[in-house]
Structure 1
Amino acid sequence: ILVLSCDSGLIEPIVNTVSLHQIKKHCQLSLGEYFNKEYGPTNSEEYLTAQKNFVESCAAYCLISYLVQVKD
């Protein structure tokens, strides 16, 4: 999020990414299977980096959703 003032900001898009919707729509794999296919074995450096990035982005999404009070 790019802060513009004390009460406004812009959400920056992340380039070169694949959304969960795209994975679900085009692959008949679970998220774990997709990560294995895309990044290699679960103990590889690529896999662990991708997993860390995914967890951090999910945490950020959850925090933002909580702060702006997104409801079900």
Structure 2
Amino acid sequence: MEPYESLRDRWLDKPDCEEIAAASGTVYQVEIEAFWDGPKALNGNLRVWVSAGSWLMPPTESFIIAPDGSFIGE
């Protein structure tokens, strides 16, 4: 997993799409976004949201990372 600062600087308020190749060679379009989990704070917990695939109901996962880099949960 990338460090907290890297995730915050790259994805916070800057959602983006990337193409990711699976081991099978299938290419998926993945959307990644990060936002504060709770009250807005310069160095609060960060939720990273990832969705892939379908336009109608894409499979979506998220996780929360604390400023110290610890994994908070999904």
Instruction: Tell me the TM-score normalized by structure 1.
Output: 0.26
Higher strand share: 2
Larger radius of gyration: 1
> What is the TM-score normalised by the length of structure 2?
0.26
Greater fraction of residues in helix: 1
